Amino acid sequence: MVTLADLQVTTLGQPTIPSPLAEYVGGRATNEYYVGEDDRVLFDDTISLVKARGLPLDELPTFEAGGARDRIYFDPATTRAGIVTCGGLCPGLNDVIRAIVFELYEHYGVTDVLGFRNGYAGLVPECGLEPMVLTPESVANIHERGGTVLGSSRGAQEVDVVVDELEARGVNLFFVIGGDGSMRGAHKIAQECLRRGNDIAVVGVPKTIDNDIPHIGQSFGFQTAFSRAAESIKAAKVEAEAALGGVGIVKVMGRHAGFIACYSAIAGHDADFVLIPEVPFDLDGEHGLLAHLHRRVAERGHAVIVVAEGAGQQHCETSGATDPSGNAVLGDIGILLRERIRADFSGRGEPVNVRYFDPGYLIRSVPADPVDSVYCARLAQIAVHAAMSGRTDMVVGRRRHRFVNVPIAYVTHRPHSVSPDGDLWLSVLESTSQPHAMRA
């Protein structure tokens, strides 16, 4: 069970320097833009959960509020920042890079920012990837493009080598934009920096189109990604409706978490079945997917299946191989469904026309939509406030409309996934009218 201690963010020392942001807020009667140390965001969101803890108020688990502080730790004149983007692409990466650079330059007066190339590999000298110098001019328009101007890569690197490089480059603030694996790496880097006492702040901006990092609200880029996936579902519906025995299949990303499948399916109400890694299903038998699909096509003339890539892996052949991030290489559930559905309908002597869609990388390589762009810019600003105030080994997130600072260890201790007993999955069931369980 979470305790207040689990949510305490590490600081490098007492912030003593008046914040340069005073210029913006100083003229006001109160410094309402600043966040105070007592301004903490409740972990629990219902009275019953709070009551069940039986704790005095000041011992309840709470998050530190994210935001600007009136005192900072780093002297802007002598501070150098570094930014790295790691792992798979995600809409909004360039928005985050841009906003970090602008916040540092324009509001804190930190005019020395390096962009490390291609993930953690860019911090390994023998990879030969010289960092880019980032300025407001060089990043001014990057948010208009998908991807990351810094490039990315998967996989961890030797922590000692990375910290040596940060020290050699004179970096004081290190911003890591990455998924859970990259955040585990950032935690190790932050711990090593603390051990060496080198005064380097490590602050993460969690990135995952799969939305599978816990306690941070929704991850940036997720909304853009599922909106793109919803377009494929709409197309699958149109195709399936027009064909005799039309079955649309849309395979979307989501290795361990089915959030993209769930949200994109609910968005258009065009899906008849949503298959996610968290909810196992059988293919055969009276209550298996094929029998239900057959009944749905008989009733409505067509059907659409949205399947997350990590769903139904027990039905697929897998190689046992792993990718550079250590993730198991998945079997292709989309192709398997296509073949099994064709075989099943022809075995019954019934017509079927399967329309197969795999929007794949299309949903994550696009620029962020305006909602995500706003979110990216604000997360980046909160990350800069945290780093400048000397916070380290933490990520920024959002809880109940408040930005929060969360220890990295707390967001990497377990993955976030769709609860089969939760209200999101219930919404999927209500939207699709698929059976609660498809087990033979």
Catalytically annotated residue among 95, 112, 180, 210: 210
β-strands 201-206, 302-308 pairing: unpaired
Q: Which stretch binds ligand F6P (CB under 6 A): 46-54, 95-103, 249-257, 426-434?
A: 249-257
Site string for ligand F6P, 165-194 (x = CB under 6 A): --------------x---------------
Residue whose CB is less far from ligand F6P, 91 or 115: 91
Beta bridge partners of 178: 206
Decide if residue 207 touches ligand F6P (CB under 6 A).
no
Decide if residue 210 touches ligand F6P (CB under 6 A).
yes
Q: Which stretch binds ligand F6P (CB under 6 A): 35-43, 70-78, 250-258, 402-410?
A: 250-258
Which tokens hold the place of 338? 């296509």
Decide if residue 323 touches ligand F6P (CB under 6 A).
yes
Residues 88-117 that bind ligand F6P (CB under 6 A): 88
Distance CA 363, CA 276 (A): 18
Decide if residue 303 touches ligand F6P (CB under 6 A).
no
Among 65, 209, 337, 366, binds ligand F6P (CB under 6 A): 209
Residue whose CB is less far from ligand F6P, 61 or 206: 206
Q: Which stretch binds ligand F6P (CB under 6 A): 96-104, 141-149, 160-168, 251-259?
A: 251-259
Please report which helix (H) or strand (E) contains residue 173, including its range: strand 173-178
Q: Which stretch binds ligand F6P (CB under 6 A): 11-19, 69-77, 187-195, 202-210?
A: 202-210
Place of tokens 């914040």: 19
Decide if residue 318 touches ligand F6P (CB under 6 A).
no
Residue 105 carries which DSSP code?
I
CB of 440 to ligand F6P, least distance (A): 28
Q: Which residues of 141-155 are buried (b: 16+ CB within 10 A; e: fewer)?
A: ebbeebbbbbbbbbb
For 358, the 3-state DSSP assignment is coil
Decide if residue 322 touches ligand F6P (CB under 6 A).
no
Closest CA to 11 of 190, 192, 165: 190
Residue whose CB is less far from ligand F6P, 79 or 152: 152
Please report which helix (H) or strand (E) contains residue 275, including its range: strand 273-275
* Catalytic (active site) residue 210: yes
Give the type of residue at 305. I
- Dihedrals φ, ψ of 326, to 5°? 90, 5
Closest CA to 310 of 287, 328, 283, 322: 328
Decide if residue 359 touches ligand F6P (CB under 6 A).
no
Closest CA to 260 of 330, 215, 307: 307
Q: Is 171 exposed, middle or buried (0-12, 13-18, 19+ CB in 10 A)?
A: buried
Residue whose CB is less far from ligand F6P, 80 or 154: 154
Site string for ligand F6P, 39-78 (x = CB under 6 A): ----------------------------------------
Decide if residue 255 touches ligand F6P (CB under 6 A).
yes
For 392, the 3-state DSSP assignment is strand
Q: Which residues of 266-293 are buried (b: 16+ CB within 10 A; e: fewer)?
A: bbbebbbbbbbbbbbbbbeeeebbbbbb
CB neighbourhood size of 252 (10 A): 34
Closest CA to 351 of 359, 360, 342: 342
Residue whose CB is less far from ligand F6P, 98 or 255: 255
Number of residues that bind ligand F6P (CB under 6 A): 10
Decide if residue 253 touches ligand F6P (CB under 6 A).
yes
How many helices (H) and strands (E) the chain has is answered by 13, 17
Q: Which stretch binds ligand F6P (CB under 6 A): 16-24, 43-51, 204-212, 368-376?
A: 204-212
Among 119, 254, 312, 390, binds ligand F6P (CB under 6 A): 254
Site string for ligand F6P, 397-426 (x = CB under 6 A): ------------------------------
Residue whose CB is less far from ligand F6P, 258 or 390: 258
Sign of CA pseudo-dihedral 318, 321, 323, 326: positive
Q: Are 302 and 243 in contact (CB under 8 A)?
A: yes
Q: Which stretch binds ligand F6P (CB under 6 A): 108-116, 134-142, 208-216, 432-440?
A: 208-216
Judged by the rule CB under 6 A, the positions of this chain that interact with ligand F6P are 88, 179, 208-210, 253-255, 309, 323
Residues that are catalytic: 210
